[in-house]
Amino acid sequence: MVDQLPSIFDQYKSYINFYLKSGLDQKADSELSSSKRNLYNILSYGMGWTDQSGSPVNIPAGKLLRPTLCLFATEASGGKRDRAIKTAVALEYIHNFSLFHDDIQDQDEIRHHRPTVWFVWGKPKAITAGNVLRSIADVTLSDLHNSNIEDTDAVKISTAMTTGYLEMIEGQFMDLSYESRHDITVQEYLDMISHKTGALIRCSMELGAHIGSGNTEVIRSFRESGRALGYLFQITDDVLGIWGDKEKTGKPVGQDIARKKNSLPVVHALSNADKKQSSVLKNIYCKQKLDDNDVDSVLKIMDSLGTKIYIKSLVDAYSESALQSFSLAKVDSKFEASFEELVQFLSTRNH
């Protein structure tokens, strides 16, 4: 398993964080009322920059995958990152807006080793704070012309991103619709994650290439590569939700089973179980609350069905697809090497 993040994350991290914080600092100035300042303290906490009282902290936070991919795609396709930074930070605001809401819908109390926004401030404030982040993303996109983006391109970027996060929200609704169902097929699940997780990741690569190149074939190659990365990211996330190391993920081993979440390993097991195994699984998942013995029983059935082996085959397939699509863009070898390092990390990550 890989511990260290690929080099492209370090390459863009401070640059992205500077503009992310600037976008919120402009809103949270001293002229705001105490209630509005409290709102922006919640946002800063949710972004991982402060503690509950608003004091700065230095803790492990999100990877900034989506803005990193956007800036990387821009430079790899021949552009300058300065032209893409507003698009990149808008993607991260939208991603975090979705996390604020997802944590409520999934009843997750911990993210990045500390309490989630809704768990600290309550659901109504967390919903509102998430909506504010989405609005800040929209405002950020409205200022694209200050990044030397032509008006026609700015409209295309804004439309593509709005369509992307609409698709993301649709995917979240699909995911919620699948709760308590035992008849979801693997293909239905893969279609759902291509929306919920894949949409913004695909957009990150596609928009970066649009800003960097504008060449239709290059954009297509980056878009298809991003599509494969979306599958890859969520599938490995599902693996971590069941077999991940608590010290790395901040979540208990088998948590997705205990929460009765229909992640890919569970969907595969339910779809491939024999009559006896299916009966055991359905009896377990009909319980109001699962205990450690239930989790162990599910893990044993998954083991007998080769669930982990099957998922590894999908990881390998999507890794190869991402690399092949990326190679069609014919970028400089240094960018190809960086992308290979990223794909290797995403396919073997432990956090």
Res 251: pLDDT: 58
Integer CA distances (angstroms), 187 to 35, 173, 178, 200, in order:
46, 17, 13, 20
Res 145: pLDDT: 80
Assess if CATH 1.10.600.10 describes domain 7-50+59-348: yes
Res 179: pLDDT: 86
Res 235: pLDDT: 97
pLDDT in tens, 313-339: 999 999 999 999 999 999 999 999 999
SS3 sequence of 209-247: HHHHCCCHHHHHHHHHHHHHHHHHHHHHHHHHHHHCCHH
Q: What span, in angstroms and rounded, lies between the C-alpha atoms of 144 and 346?
A: 30
Res 296: pLDDT: 94
Res 27: pLDDT: 57
Res 181: pLDDT: 87
pLDDT in tens, 80-131: 999 999 999 999 999 999 999 999 998 889 888 899 999 999 999 999 999 9
Q: What span, in angstroms and rounded, lies between the C-alpha atoms of 3 and 252?
A: 18
pLDDT < 70 regions, the chain = 1-3, 26-32, 246-253
DSSP β-bridge partners for residue 111: 114
